[in-house]
Amino acid sequence: MTQETPVTSVLFDVDGLLLNTEIVYTEVTQEIAARFGKTFDWSIKANMLGRAEIESARYLVDALDLPISAEDYLQERNEMLRKGLAQCDAMPGAESMVRHLQKENVPIAVATSSTTELFKIKKSRHTEWFSLFDVTVTGDDPDVIRAKPAPDIFLTAARRLGTKPQETMVFEDAPSGLAAGITAGMRVVVVPDPNMDRARYEGATEILDSLEDFEPERYALPAYK
């Protein structure tokens, strides 16, 4: 942490960070892979987290040598995802943290690689507290030319919040998101899935087991009451 540069705004990834969507992605993808006698596990998933969906799909099809195109996989996957994603729960500490920052007038934004369509489905049970975000940037936003690990999505969100990168903190769960935040010149706090190798999070400002463990006052943000 740089003491002379307090954090003034906060950006949040969604999948696996604010909402527990990853279990749905895993189940659906394994169901598709199993039809071809393949196994989708963390050795594959770890390299897909946080990336644009077409990039992740191409990686999956290549890594598992699936006899379908990335586009065909995505079409089938997204049809199967809709029902499960509409039921996803919030991750521990997510809603309370968002409410706290908004109440304390800290500018906050969503920065998710998800498409607008899927993001709307994911937040459908959580629309009230997701409405507290000042800015939402999705992966299909026209200003996001390159997906994570490029910094485009975070720089776009910060610009729309009117904040400087060095005063911005990113919360992420994926190595690609960490890389995007670092490249953007921001501080990045990561909350990895327990299955992820923490050695992949070199350069993170802080590594947490849960959002519930975050201490905002360490970064000149308002403390929890």
Answer whether 88's CB lies under 8 Å from 125's CB: yes
Distance (Å) of CA 88 to CA 29, 31, 74, 135, 164: 16, 18, 20, 22, 33
Active site residue 13: yes
Selecting among 15, 141, 152, 173, the annotated active-site residue is 15
Selecting among 13, 141, 152, 173, the annotated active-site residue is 13
Active site residue 143: no
Where are the strands (E) in the chain, listed by range? 9-12, 108-111, 135-137, 168-172, 187-190, 206-207
Answer whether 209's CB lies under 8 Å from 90's CB: no
How many other C-beta atoms are found inside a 10 Å radius of the C-beta of residue 128? 10
**Residue 187: half-sphere exposure toward Cβ, Cα within 13 Å:** 19
**What residue type is assigned to position 79 of the chain?**
E
Active site residues: 13, 15
